[in-house]
Structure 1
Amino acid sequence: MNRKLDDEYYQLLGQIQAADFVLVELTLYLDTHPHDQKALQQFNQFQQYSTKLKAAFEPKYGPLFQFGNSPDGENKWEWGQGPWPWQV
């Protein structure tokens, strides 16, 4: 069963993807500049922002991750319900 996708779905998903992209880039930078406090502060801010976005997305549109990284609500397994984020 597919959930109804609305403008908010795409907006939240785009924000999640952008925040996670920043996190990947900051991770790479921090691997070579581990003492850059400004970069570390930015990483922590984007990590919190990404978590907040995912917490808003998942209850309404379903899990983003499998393997226990995304809680499944209301005592039902929703992972099999698409579309998955990589399918849109």
Structure 2
Amino acid sequence: MNKTMPPEFYKLMEDIQAVDFVLVELSLYLDTHPDDYEAVQQFNYYVKQSKELKKQYEKQFGPLKEYGASYSTYPWSWDDVPWPWQI
């Protein structure tokens, strides 16, 4: 199954991946520097960014997460967009 998606799809996926990468790195840093106020502020900023990007993605392209973490449109639309390893 090779689906071609509009350029906005790929841009949004790239933005989500970049922000989530920053969150992983900040989480690891904060595990060893829990009192770094500025890092905590950055972490919270990127959490908000991640949620907003994922909300935008789901509004435009459908569910991003499985097992009840994302709503689905009707009819079931889980396979309407390419899987991450297909892009």
Range into which the TM-score falls when normalised by the shorter chain: 0.7 to 0.9
Deviations 1:3-59 (A, max 9, x none): 651111111110000000000000001111111110000000000001000111112
Structure 2 equivalent of residue 46 of structure 1 = 46
Report the number of matched residues: 87
One-letter amino acid of the structure 1 residue matched with residue 26 of structure 2: L
User: Which residues of structure 1 form unaligned runs of 5+?
Assistant: none
Indicate yes or no: 2:13 matched with 1:13: yes
Alpha-carbon contact 1:64-1:85 (below 8 Å) kept: no
Report the equivalent of 1:87: 86
Which residues of structure 2 form unaligned runs of 5+?
Answer: none
TM-score by length of 2: 0.88
The corresponding residue for 2:75 is: 76
Aligned to 2:63: 63
Q: In percent, how many aligned pairs have the same letter?
A: 51
Kindly state the Cα deviation for residue 2 of structure 1 after the two structures are TM-superposed.
Answer: 7.4
TM-score between the two structures when normalised by the length of structure 1: 0.87
1:32 alignment counterpart:
32
Whole-angstrom distance in 2 between the partners of 1:47 and 1:86: 24
User: Are residues 6 and 54 of structure 1, via their aligned partners in 2, closer, same or farther at CA, if it must alter by over 3 Å?
Assistant: same
